Chain A
Amino acid sequence: AQSVTQPDIHITVSEGASLELRCNYSYGATPYLFWYVQSPGQGLQLLLKYFSGDTLVQGIKGFEAEFKRSQSSFNLRKPSVHWSDAAEYFCAVEPGNTGKLIFGQGTTLQVKP
């Protein structure tokens, strides 16, 4: 069965430090890949997505993600974290152009001043 794993439930980084959030998926072919962010009490906002082509994807708010087929991973990165980045981050996959998303468990990011 398809699945998405975000190994880190909670991450704390200092403001200005770099960030990497991990995402691994289980699927036979290359799915569509997404990262969403959820601020407290809010809905989900798309940060970036990968459908095909260049494996390094740029998103909003200075985020980027790299698709690595050999590792079945789609890790999210940001060079310098801002306090406003504190939120919950979800990785999601859409297997085989089904229109259905499978979400990871989420990673909560805390930013220290």
Chain B
Amino acid sequence: NAGVTQTPKFRVLKTGQSMTLLCAQDMNHEYMYWYRQDPGMGLRLIHYSVGEGTTAKGEVPDGYNVSRLKKQNFLLGLESAAPSQTSVYFCASTHGEDTQYFGPGTRLTVL
């Protein structure tokens, strides 16, 4: 039981490049989330999903897209990376009325 895993752990992009972050969970959770963490700002919700095939915007969705084609996976895409998207990205999952379990994070730098 690996819990919540994230791929990759680190990535450096140039402005304008695209990439996809993968989150996988093996706990059969319905809800999945993508957050970004910036110094002094805590974690802010980017997008979330309440089930396979569904997605919704969070607090800071601009510049990101997501997909939940399989229940266990939640992908976060950056179509045209910007320096403002330099951050640490965390994925989380939960059944709903329960604790959110977090992945180890992806550290992204956009030059």
Contact = CB atoms under 8 A, between A and B. Distances in A.
A106 B42 contact: yes
Interface of B: 4, 31, 33, 35, 40-45, 48, 50, 58, 90, 92, 94, 96-97, 99-105
Given A43-B102, A46-B99, A103 B90 contact: no
Contacts of A51: 97
A34 interface: yes
A84 to B, nearest CB: 19
B37 to A, nearest CB: 9
Nearest to B6: A43
B23 to A, nearest CB: 11
B9 to A, nearest CB: 10
Given A46-B100, A100-B33, A104-B42, 20 more contacts: A4-B42, A9-B40, A36-B102, A41-B105, A42-B105, A43-B90, A43-B103, A43-B105, A44-B92, A44-B102, A92-B43, A99-B50, A100-B48, A101-B33, A101-B43, A101-B100, A102-B45, A103-B42, A103-B43, A105-B42
